[in-house]
Amino acid sequence: MEQKIYYLDNAATTKMFDDVLSEGVKYYKDEFYNPSSVYYKSVEVKRCLSEAKKTLLNCLGADDGEIIFTGSATEANNMVVFSQKNMKGKKFLFGAGEHPSVLECAKELLKRGYDVEFIPLSKEGSVDMESYKQMVSCGNVAFVSVQHTSNETGAVNPIAKLVKLARKFNKDVLFHSDGVQAFSKFGYSVLDLDVDYYTISAHKIYGAKGVGALYIKKGVKINPLIFGGGQESGLRSGTENVFGIMTFKMCAEKVIKDIEKNYNKVQNMRKELLDELTKNGIDYVIHGEGVPHTMNICLSKKVRGETLVHALEKQNIFVSTGSACSSTKNYNTTLEAMGVPAEEILSSIRISFSPYMDFDAKFIAKTICEQLKKLEVKSYE
C-alpha cells in the first residue's frame, strides 16, 4: 500500500482545490476566447474578468480601488517598486525580512544609486518599531514596503500602525505591503490598513501558479512594468490568464468564507504537533511569533535543517528550510536579521500547515524524532 503523503510546506505553494480545478477547466475548453477580441463570446469572458476583480476587492475588504492581474506576486512586487523611478533623492524603506521578490528589488535600487535603508527586525520577527520610528521621522521617506506576514516565520507586522506613523512625517508617502502570506489567514480590510499597494497570489490559496494580483488604492498612480497590447488598463500588457484569474476568484471566495474555522483548525494542528514533539523528548526552539500557519523551528542543533528535510522527504513528510524563492536556501537572512545565532539558523526548518491537507501529529512527530536520532548518531561518526 502506498504511504500517505504529509505535505507541510504550504507557505511555498498549495495544492489546487479539486472542485475549482474541475470547474475552471471550462476556461480552457468552452470559454477559451481572448478577452480582448470584440465578438460577444470574448466580451462575456471580459465581463467574467471584471467580476473576478470585484470579488477580490470584496475579499480584501475594499469597496473601491483597482485590482491589476499579473503573472505572479513577484511581478506585482517588482511593478510597485520600480514604478517609483522618479524619486531619486528621496528615501526608500524596506523591511529587513522581506520576501526575495521585494528584497532583491531593494538591492537593485541601491545599485542604481537610490537612497535605500532596511528596517531591522525584532526578535519576534516583525519590524522593530523603535528603529522604524527613527527612520521615518526624517520626513524624507517617500516609499515604504513592509510585508504583512512573514513567509519565513509567520510574524505579523502592524501595517495600519506603520502606515499612520509614516504619514505623520510625510502625508504623501507611498506604502506597499506584500500580503501573500496574510491573505486568507486572518480577517482584515486593506481600507483599514490604508496601504497604497497590496500584493496577493493565487497559488498560496489553493489556486493556480502563474497568477498574482495587485491592489491599488483609489487615486494612487502606478507605472507599467510590461508594455504591449495595453491589457489591464494599460498597466499590465499581455493576454490575460483567464483560467488562472477565474480559479483565483473561486479559491478566494472559498477560503475567505472559512477564515475563522480554518484559523482555529491550523492553530490546533500546530499545538498537536508541538505537544507530540515534546512527548518524544524533542527540545525545540521556535523563531518568531505570528499566525499559526507558518512555524520556523530548530529541533536539534546537531543536525542541519537541509539534512533533516531530505531525511523526512524519504518518509513522505515534506517541509522546507525556508522560502522556495530564495537564492540562499541554506542560510535564512530573515532569521539572521532577527538575531538568531548562525548555528541555529542552519539547523532550522520551516513547517507550514494547511487545514485542507492530511495531517497526523503523532506519526509526524514520531518520524521526526526517529530521523533526528539517526542523523545525530551519524554526526558523531
Give the residue-averaged pLDDT of 350-377. 95
Note the pTM of the prediction, 2 decimals: 0.95
Domain 18-257 architecture: 3-Layer(aba) Sandwich (3.40)
pLDDT band (50, 70, 90) for residue 88 = low
Please tell me the predicted confidence (pLDDT) of residue 376.
84
Residue the block writes with cell 511555498: 12
Q: Which residue has the higher pLDDT, 145 or 113?
A: 145
Please tell me the predicted confidence (pLDDT) of residue 237.
87
Please tell me the predicted confidence (pLDDT) of residue 1.
55
Return residue ranges of the chain for CATH 3.90.1150.10: 6-16+258-380
Please tell me the predicted confidence (pLDDT) of residue 329.
53
On average, the pLDDT of the chain sits at: 94
325 is catalytic: yes
100: which 3 cell numbers?
A: 526575495
According to DSSP, residue 7 is labeled: E
Give the residue-averaged pLDDT of 84-99. 87
Per-residue pLDDT for 333 more than 50?
yes
Residues 249-279: tens digit of each pLDDT: 999 999 999 999 999 999 999 999 999 999 9
Return residue ranges of the chain for CATH 3.40.640.10: 18-257
**Contact 191/61 with Cβ under 8 angstroms?**
yes
Please tell me the predicted confidence (pLDDT) of residue 69.
97
333 residue type, one letter? T
Residues 35-72: tens digit of each pLDDT: 999 999 999 999 999 999 999 999 999 989 999 999 99
**Contact 184/355 with Cβ under 8 angstroms?**
no
Q: Is 199 helix (H, G, I), strand (E, B) or coil?
A: strand
Query: How far apart are alpha carbons 105 and 178 in whole angstroms?
Result: 13
Q: Which of 138, 298, 325, 369 is catalytic?
A: 325
**Contact 56/69 with Cβ under 8 angstroms?**
no
Count how many Cα atoms sit within 13 Å of the Cα of residue 73 in the half-sphere of its side chain: 29
**Contact 289/124 with Cβ under 8 angstroms?**
yes
Percentage helix, strand, coil, to 5, in the chain? 40, 15, 45
Please tell me the predicted confidence (pLDDT) of residue 327.
43
* Percentage of residues in the chain having pLDDT higher than 90: 88
| Concatenated DSSP letters of 284-345 | -EEE--B-TTEEEEES-TTS-HHHHHHHHHTTTEE-BSS-TT-S-TTS-HHHHHTT--HHHH
Burial of 265 (0-12, 13-18, 19+ CB in 10 A): middle
pLDDT band (50, 70, 90) for residue 280 = very high
Residue the block writes with cell 477547466: 25
Query: How far apart are alpha carbons 37 and 40 in whole angstroms?
Result: 9
The CATH homologous superfamily for domain 6-16+258-380 is Aspartate Aminotransferase, domain 1 (3.90.1150.10)
